[in-house]
Structure 1
């Protein structure tokens, strides 16, 4: 009823911009709420029949296209829909380039829309990966909270470390650990003196780096380290570098694991010294930490779940006789933000059948991977192959194709188009493989950045990839560092 009365069939986004006199209190509340969340809304282009080409904000990071038009627009032009700029289930490049600058056409070209599988135009939540609304992201947007700070440490939850240490680190990384300076701010204590060494204010930097006993712990763990090494970089950089250190120490322990557990023990011993009168600081802290790590590793990686810390050697493998293998990959240029993709089809005798590289507009790595898969499948189907194995080194892309696609997903059209090709009358399987076995596709994707916009076909392999192609034919394997769980 509200939709028919106030929107007249238009999208809910109009509630944030259309001032209606004499409307009900219910509609006033909805309109006020829409103004709050409108910053997080964006269009997902489907068939293009609902979005106004010039006056709706539908191109990421560009804004309303009317302000970018190459000439003054007539009333008829202002009423044009996005679908007016599509032809044969793709964008009309000639028409787009006649009314807009090339850099904007470049962005539009990367929006996958106008296909049978694209669905209708849809308003989605632009502040989440899946297009679904979340209260937290809306709150952060309204109060102008910089989400990048909290996301910076999200990799912590993927680290293989004890859960208690993980929880402790989350508090530490966000500066919420109750050192004396934080306790004084909260009014728990009158001053910030560090009781263990009486050396000024007790803050997190002092507890974990400046304190004599903390330095002793680091020196005992890392033989040969000097105190100056602890202050080469600032606090956040020091944490980041050490928590992303995958190098093995003591032959079997990842550097980040040793670092994380050491931080936890330093804090644990600090608290014991203050609150337990019978506690004495251990003379060999490194030995205690190493023993703890041995016990934790043995308990978590028993015979049923052994961790192989040795490198695994990976090579490209040909398909079975009667099958062909399609390797695809995507590439993102970090400077321009443009994406490209590439792929190669080979038979069981390792012969080159065809290859391609495609250059798109501005996008993400996942978009690039999906574009590579889409174009590769179209080429394979058109070439008449009916038994095809697809290798991609993008786990995210493979998961998107194997799971149901949420209707609000920003890449709905691209994903559904890939799925439609997979459901054609052929035997086609998509699997994840490591990048060490995907080097030819990787080079073709990189080559795509230097080509013209669109797709380029290679009946013969380009000169730049002959060496890598020869490695694959010879079965050359490349080491991939562990750990690998059996």
Structure 2
């Protein structure tokens, strides 16, 4: 039997660490208001409440999402115990949302159940941790002076970036290699086509590392302005079913250098790579290597060479009492 939930406080739903659409979905679950057959029949929008997948039991919310009664959602959504390297409250709402989407793909689009769903959920949880979670600290914003820094003597620096041009889906990437004097060694642009910003960033890193390997660089510093990319490459436990070849290539290429460092930088210190990435998204050819700076990037290159600072408002973490 479908549960009818009494009116109670559901403020905890909006405190779950998840994307807004997932919070809204869980809120709808708690109000018995998602489009399973059992709910639709009760609202006079159908006569058959049988589950379209197993065709054996009524399709209630509990049936569609395992045991998702209110208390099950609430207790799991607040559970901080460590499971599989995560606080359970992080992957849990992503899992509920992903199960629901997978069910809809099967019912309405005839797609098979995704055998890699668990791997996908884990990957999404990791990306969410890298991109969206907030720390439990007091945060003050301070103005910091940011600039591109030259590598130490004997080292080269690679800066890469990805570009995703909004609704039209055009994506590209690019990068710049410079020496300890700030001089241009090489650069590249690549047109990717339709791709997410994450994939574009990963392509930029992969092609930048491949270029540096081709140039026989031994000691390399790599900077990107996407923390999630740094975390994905350095965390050996991270998996992503969307870009496994790219991720594997990046890790393998990093091992080719005698000494290598990869780190995050602010976008103000990554302006040359940003320009190159936007050039890549607009170009008609697949891949271009530049042995000297193209006209579009000259201004940013000159600013970096002269050590020009840019102000940026940055979080200054102060541990709370």
Fold similarity call, TM over 0.5: yes
Shift of 1:477: 0.7
Is residue 398–residue 432 contact of structure 1 (8 Å, CA) maintained in 2? yes
Structure 2 distance, partners of 1:444, 1:469, is 11
Alignment partner, residue 451 of structure 1 = 283
Kept in 1: contact 2:213–2:257 (CA 8 A): no
Q: Is the 8 A contact 2:172 2:282 kept in 1?
A: no
Note the 1:17-166 alignment, pairs <5 A. 32=54, 134-142=95-103, 158=133
- Checking the alignment, whether the CA contact within 8 Å between 1:360 and 1:453 is kept in structure 2 is no
- The equivalent residue for 1:433 is 265
2:292 aligns to what? 460
Aligned counterparts of 1:416 and 1:335: Cα–Cα separation in 2: 29
Structure 2 CA distance, aligned partners of 1:465 and 1:408?
33
SS in 2 for 1:335: helix
Residues 353-405 of structure 1: per-residue CA shift (max 9 Å, x gap): 01110111211111111111111111111111100100000101111101125
Q: CA deviation at 1:308?
A: 5.0
Distance 1:320 1:457, change over 3 A: same
CA contact (8 A) 2:172 2:189 kept: yes
> Is 1:389 paired with 2:228?
no
**Residues in 1 aligned to 2:305 and 2:239: alpha-carbon distance in whole angstroms:** 42
The residue aligned with 1:91 is: none
Cα distance per residue 1:211-266 (max 9 Å; x no partner) = xxxxxxxxxxxxxxxxxxxxxxxxxxxxxxxxxxxxxxxxxxxxxxxxxxxxxxxx
- Equivalent residue, structure 2, for 1:313: 145
Give 5+ residue unaligned stretches, structure 1. Answer: 1-30, 37-129, 145-153, 162-299, 302-306
* Aligned counterpart for 2:170 among listed residues 338, 342, 345: 338
Mapped contact 1:406–1:412 kept (Cα < 8 A): no
Q: How much does 1:158 deviate?
A: 4.4
User: 1:269-280 residue pairs with structure 2 within 5 A?
Assistant: none
Question: Deviation string for 1:174-219 (max 9, x for gaps)?
Answer: xxxxxxxxxxxxxxxxxxxxxxxxxxxxxxxxxxxxxxxxxxxxxx
Greater strand fraction, Structure 1 or Structure 2: 2
State the SS of the aligned residue for 2:202: helix
TM-score, normalised to structure 2, is 0.59
Q: What is the CA distance between 1:138 and its match in structure 2?
A: 1.8
Q: Please, which runs of 5 or more residues in structure 2 have no aligned partner?
A: 1-52, 60-90, 106-127
Q: Which has the higher contact order (CA 8 A, sep 6+)?
A: 2
Q: Which consecutive aligned stretches of 4+ in structure 1 deviate over 6 angstroms post-superposition?
A: none
Deviations 1:33-64 (A, max 9, x none): 9xx9xxxxxxxxxxxxxxxxxxxxxxxxxxxx
In 2: Cα distance, 1:408 partner to 1:344 partner: 26
Q: Secondary structure at the match of 1:310?
A: strand
Classify 1:462/1:404 alpha carbon distance in 2 versus 1 (closer, same or farther; 3 Å): same
Distance 2:171 2:237 in 1: 23
Shift of 1:339: 1.0
Q: CA RMSD in A?
A: 2.9
Equivalent position to 2:208, from 376, 388, 409? 376
Q: Distance in 2 between matches of 1:408 and 1:439?
A: 28
Cα 1:382–1:333 change in 2 (3 A) is same
In the alignment, does 2:196 pair up with 1:364?
A: yes
Distance 2:239 2:317 in 1: 35
Q: Contact between 1:405 and 1:416, CA under 8 Å: does it hold in 2?
A: no
Residue equivalent to 1:422: 254
Q: Distance in 1 between matches of 2:316 and 2:297?
A: 30
**Structure 2 Cα separation of the partners of residues 425 and 159 of structure 1:** 35
Q: Secondary structure at the match of 1:361?
A: strand
What is the rounded CA distance, in whole Å, between the counterparts of 2:227 and 2:144 in structure 1?
A: 18
Does the 8 Å CA contact 2:161/2:201 hold for their aligned counterparts?
yes
State the secondary structure of the residue aligned to 2:282.
coil
Question: How many Å separate the matches in 1 of 2:134 and 2:238?
Answer: 28
Contact 1:369 1:394 in 2 (8 A): yes
Work out the CA distance in 2 between the residues paired with 1:397 and 1:425.
Answer: 19
1:102-144 CA distances to partner (integer Å, 9 max, x unpaired)? xxxxxxxxxxxxxxxxxxxxxxxxxxxx9xx935422355369
**C-alpha distance in 2, partners of 1:328/1:458?**
14
Contact 2:220 2:257 in 1 (8 A): no
Tell me whether 423-432 or 372-381 shows the greater mean CA deviation: 423-432
